[in-house]
């Protein structure tokens, strides 16, 4: 049982390049989330999805887009990468319900030069 | 809007010492409370959670937390830490209404020296 799988694990981009981070979960979770983790700031929610075909903005959505075409996948896109987007990105998923814990992937370390 | 404060950013303890990490939140309604742990190089894992009932909750690896509603606090405790407890600890809260958008604290880095 893989849980939440993120690819790639590391990536270095140049300013202005685009890329997509992939998150896949095999737990049949309804909800999925993308966070970024920066030193001294904890985790901040970028975008989330409450079901296949739905997406919504979180706390820090600017510069990112997402898609949830299949229930098990949640993609995070950077259309034109900026140095301020250098961070560690975590995907998470959970069952539907306000008190369901979130399950996290191993993270993607992204550096923008 | 909800917010979470973790006042201790870095904590250094010797093995066998007792641990208490502070967590305070701001939200007037009913909340769900979580503590997550992130070991070096790993993803976040759930330590324990509180939804309702007994305000003293027990989690994995000997951790416990006490919800004190009057103080808006959910402090994490462990009687005797081990070197393997070296990690970053995050408190998180969501409102018990509607969609569960978790708000995380900034984390506390714990270093346990052998």
pLDDT digit string, tens, across residues B88-103: 999 999 876 666 688 9
pLDDT in tens, B35-50: 999 999 888 999 999 9
Residues B87, A43, B4, B73, CA torsion sign: negative
Cα-based distances in Å from A28 to A24, A31, B13: 10, 9, 40
C-alpha distances in Å from residue A102, one per residue of A55, B12, B34, B85: 17, 28, 10, 21
Structure tokens at B39: 């070991």
Least confident of A75-84, A89-98, A103-112, B63-72: A89-98
Nearest CA in chain A to B49: A101
Which letter does DSSP use for residue A83 in this model? G
Residues of A with CB under 8 A from a CB of B: 4, 31, 40-45, 48, 50, 58, 90, 92, 94, 97-102, 104-107
pLDDT digits (tens, 9 = 90+) for A33-73: 999 999 888 899 999 999 999 999 998 999 999 999 999 99
Of A42, A45, A50, the CB nearest to B105: A42
What's the confidence (pLDDT) of residue B41? 85
- Identify the CA nearest to B36 among candidates B73, B100, B90: B90
pLDDT digits (tens, 9 = 90+) for A65-84: 999 999 999 999 999 999 99
DSSP secondary structure of B44-81? EEEEEEE-SS-SEEE-GGG-EEEEEGGGTEEEEEESS-
């Amino acid at each position: 049982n893989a849980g939440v799988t993120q690819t790639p694990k590391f990536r270095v981009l140049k300013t202005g390049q685009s890329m997509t981070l992939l998150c896949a979960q095999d737990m049949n979770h309804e909800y999925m989330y993308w966070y970024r983790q920066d030193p001294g700031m904890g985790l901040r929610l970028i975008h989330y999805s409450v079901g296949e075909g739905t997406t919504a903005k979180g706390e820090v959505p600017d510069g990112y887009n997402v898609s949830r075409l299949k229930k098990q996948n949640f993609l995070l896109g950077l259309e034109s990468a900026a140095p301020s987007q250098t961070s560690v990105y975590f995907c998470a998923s959970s069952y539907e319900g306000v008190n369901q814990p979130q399950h996290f992937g191993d993270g993607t370390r992204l550096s923008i030069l | 809007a909800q917010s979470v404060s973790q006042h201790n950013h870095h904590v250094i303890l010797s093995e066998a010492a007792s641990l208490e990490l502070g967590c305070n939140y701001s939200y007037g309604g009913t909340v769900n409370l979580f503590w997550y742990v992130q070991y070096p190089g790993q993803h976040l894992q759930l330590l324990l959670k509180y939804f309702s009932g007994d305000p003293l909750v027990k989690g994995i690896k000997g951790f416990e937390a006490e919800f004190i509603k009057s103080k808006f606090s959910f402090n994490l405790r462990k009687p005797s830490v081990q070197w393997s407890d070296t990690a970053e600890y995050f408190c998180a809260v969501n409102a018990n209404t509607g969609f569960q958008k978790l708000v995380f604290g900034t984390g506390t880095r714990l270093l346990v020296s052998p």
